[in-house]
Chains A and B, each alone.
Chain A
Amino acid sequence: MTETLNMDLYARTDTVNELLARYGVKFGIYKNGTFREQLFPFDSVPRVIAKEEFAYLERGLKQRVTALNLFLKDIYNEKKILKDKVVPEEFIYASSGYLAQCEGVVPPKGVYSHISGIDLVLGKDGVWYILEDNLRVPSGASYPMIARELCRRSSPRTFQSISIADNRNYADLLKKTLDYVNTGGLTVVMTPGRYNAAYFEHSYLAERMHEPLVTYNDLVVENDHLYFVGYDGKKEQVGAVYRRISDEYLDPMNFNRESVIGVPHIFDIYRKGNVALVNAPGNGVADDKGIYYFVPKMIKYYLGEEPILHNAPTYLPYYDADMEYVLDKFDNLVLKDVAEAGGYGVVFGSKMSAKEKEDFIALLKKEPRRFIAQEVIDFCDLPILEKEGTVDRKADLRAFVLSGEKPVVWKSGLTRFSRNPDSFIVNSSQGGGFKDTWVLNQ
């Protein structure tokens, strides 16, 4: 029965994609110096997660994000985890995500990572593995949210007959999270502008939350408070900024002094507790690929618990024993540059030529802190629809944890898949598509 109903939805993939095009569900991409808007291909075969399985993920994700929030508070304040030598200092201070300006700062209500995007894959051994934590400005929730709306419209029978947790509440959850930390006044969504890759998401979330979408031009700091300046010069106080702009461009007076964007002194008033910046600046130190290795240790250290969710087996060439292992098993490993994101800086040992391998190993020995190595996880393929039927492709899952008064895991997620049969890279910027993620109610 379920399969028949799903077939009804599958048959309407083109309809859903046409509707996504109608609503301008796109992402921006720069290629050869030119900006283009591109539709994000949707595949209507969902990733389905059983209720019990999601409950397990939920526990693990809450645990992980709680520990990461405690880590951020500790790193920018007492530094107990460094003093106790659980994490080596150099992994903090050499991280590009560490911001000395955040030392001693505690954000409103003590929340650092309000929106956490945690990337996971399901191994063929049936185990979920965390691939990375995104604690700066994780994007992607808007896509399954709008896709669900359009799938329901396209195939009502499917949703009448299968009980699936409604994921269209993401904007409500986000608004609640922002309201919790709001220090008084408006909540705004701050975008770098329409030429940002995730501009659709910025504008769509602002629309769904009924909050203004602003750029740095619309905001001004006066008398230690932040204001949204309207057409008549009328100013309205802002208490929370859901900023979709990276730390370095947030405030030219405190970060990148050469930047022509950002709101001068916004960080100063944040430091005084007069506005919430969401997510908190400086979070990059906790989602650094090098720090990823230490997250299970953080969970034990801060919570006294065993990690519920597993990291992919990871090695730090920084440690001699790990370097030895990496060199020995080089062809079996995937190597990641900790400074890169979006699927860039990822290389597979098995795919390198002899010369490339030689050059890479020389670089690895010279800059061991720059790389991590991971076992290549044989993760489950998911079926995607092609003209000739379904074919299996690699797919991951980005789960979203919203941390206000308590962490809440959104009952859905962004499932991204590779359209290339030979690729593990699922990022939209590299040609991937997306699926809805269904969490079953029973």
Chain B
Amino acid sequence: MGVKSVENMDRLYWLGRYSERVYTTLKLYGVRFDSMLEEGIEGYDEFCHSLEIPNIYTSAEDFRQKYPFGQEDPNSIYSNLKRAYDNAIELREEIGSETLAYIQLAVYGLNKAAKSESPMIEFQNILDDILAFWGIVDDQIEDEDTRNIIKVGKRVERIDLYARSGIDRDSMIREVHRLCGRIDRCSLHYNKGVLEHLKELIASEKLDYPAIVREIERILEV
């Protein structure tokens, strides 16, 4: 497809970001969910702190319910998946019905998980849907620019989340390099100075995570 509207460029980018946010937070939540199975462990405060989201939860049970499924909680996985869906649904002609279907399936999966006694099983299906979504983006979207905008969104979000959760240095270096290799291959305008600064930040022995978060958040500020 030729010319893209401003709105669609924005939607593609945010579709990439929110799909990644759902994927990574779901995985992080899975780890936390497991550790919270033993009574008395209330590690959700640390979880909220690491992702810099407000701890609005009153108990471990409240967290277990609201963080994945809370419709009123803007930081819940539900809200992030809904945002991914809201962007995807307006991109059908750009990404295709087959691609959109995987985001739709993830939404159904989360609704199913909310009613399940074993939500982790349903979460695995959602992770599979998102992985399939990324796979089909590569496989079926003909327009390279479209593919790359989604992927840039995904990379930006991953760096952001990795920095917030204090990921190891090697993983961070890998993600920044992936972004560098992708961002010039799409028509998004971005701040080249920010990218250079990110490269400098990952070159240092001890990573300055707050600085990485600050920088990645302004990558599209031009």
Contact = CB atoms under 8 A, between A and B. Distances in A.
A207 interface: yes
6 contacts: A23-B104, A24-B92, A24-B104, A194-B86, A210-B93, A218-B5
Interface in A58-108: none
A206 interface: yes
Interface in B157-195: 187
B222 interface: no
Interface of B: 1-9, 86, 89-90, 92-94, 96-97, 100-101, 104-105, 108, 187
Interface in A207-256: 207, 210-215, 217-218, 228-232, 234, 236
Contacts of B7: 215, 217-218
A23 B5 contact: no
B149 to A, nearest CB: 10
B108 A236 contact: no
B93 A206 contact: yes
A59 B96 CA distance: 36
Contact of B3 (A23, A204, A207, A234): A234
A363 to B, nearest CB: 42
A22 interface: yes
A322 to B, nearest CB: 47
Main secondary structure on chain A at its contact with chain B?
mixed
B20 to A, nearest CB: 21
Given A22-B101, A22-B104, A24-B104, A228 B93 contact: no
Interface of A: 21-24, 186, 189, 194, 199, 203-204, 206-207, 210-215, 217-218, 228-232, 234, 236
A425 to B, nearest CB: 28
Contacts of A211: 93
B93 A203 contact: yes
Nearest to A211: B93
A210 B96 CA distance: 10
B92 A236 contact: no
B3 A213 contact: no
B5 A236 contact: no
Contacts of B105: 22
Contacts of A22: 101, 104-105
Contact of A231 (B86, B101, B104, B187): B187
A228 B8 CA distance: 13
Contacts of B104: 21-24
A204 B97 contact: yes
Contacts of B90: 194, 203
B117 to A, nearest CB: 23
